[in-house]
Structure 1
Amino acid sequence: MAFFALSGCANDPAPNEQMRLTQQAVEQARAIGAGQDIPEMAQAESKLARAEKNMAEEDYKRARMLAEQAELDARLAEAKVLTQKSERQVADLNLRIERLRKQLRAVQ
């Protein structure tokens, strides 16, 4: 019985493509400003490191699972950063609009 469990792990192919996608997602999130201050980014980097360790140990099933999770965490971190930037831009635009309204009222 243990033999079948072990042979199942050996049949999992190395998740090279998933690892590449995950590394790209982490790099892209970093490039737009996602850092360790965003919990999902910290999780993504931690899971990617564990996935790389599992790859080295040829535990491909676990490596794939962690890499997939890390990719999703990195994409969520990226989305959060982009949302924060957008919210700041909207707030800035609203402030500018309000200033223009006050200027128009003063002119009338």
Structure 2
Amino acid sequence: MSNRLLFAAVAVLALAGCANDPAPNEQMRLTGQALEQAKAVGATADDVPEMKLAEDKYSRAKGSMAGESYKNARMRAEQAELDARLAEAKVLTHKSEEQVSALNTRIARLRKQLGDAQ
């Protein structure tokens, strides 16, 4: 009988240890920064679906923090950070593609002018 009590006590302690995840303050800070960086390059929830996802997940992470569900908060904040970084990358890629297209148009125009001049 004492083995069962010992096993039950160890099981309860193990579960209690899992429930006491530390608050993911640093992750929340990093996620906030990632969202700000994405906004700074022009990512908006209206134009970039990943930005909307990031904002929604960050909001849920804040709710989990308030409810002291730190494991959920960390997971949602990590997901939100990745979504925000993807949104930022998509915006930057789109801007780069537009710049390349504009340069190609100028090059074609210059080639035509040079061809016409000969």
Q: TM (normalized to structure 1)?
A: 0.93
Q: Shift in Å at residue 8 of structure 1?
A: 2.0
2:3: which partner in 1?
none
1:8: which partner in 2?
18
- How far apart are the structure 1 equivalents of 2:88 and 2:33? 12
- How far apart are the structure 2 equivalents of 1:49 and 1:67? 9
Structure number with the bigger relative contact order (C-alpha 8 A, sep ≥ 6) is 1
2:43: which partner in 1?
34
Q: TM (normalized to structure 2)?
A: 0.86
1:52: which partner in 2?
62
The structure having more radius of gyration, on CA atoms, is: 2
Which residue of 99, 106, 115 corresponds with 1:96?
A: 106
Q: Shift in Å at residue 6 of structure 1?
A: 5.4
| Amino acid of the structure 2 residue aligned with 1:32 | V
Identity of aligned residues (%): 66
Note the residue ranges of structure 2 that are not aligned, 5 or more in a row.
1-7
Count of residue correspondences? 107
Alpha-carbon RMSD across the aligned residues, in angstroms, is 1.4
- How far apart are the structure 2 equivalents of 1:6 and 1:42? 35
Note the residue ranges of structure 1 that are not aligned, 5 or more in a row.
none
Residue 86 of structure 2 is aligned to residue 76 of structure 1: yes
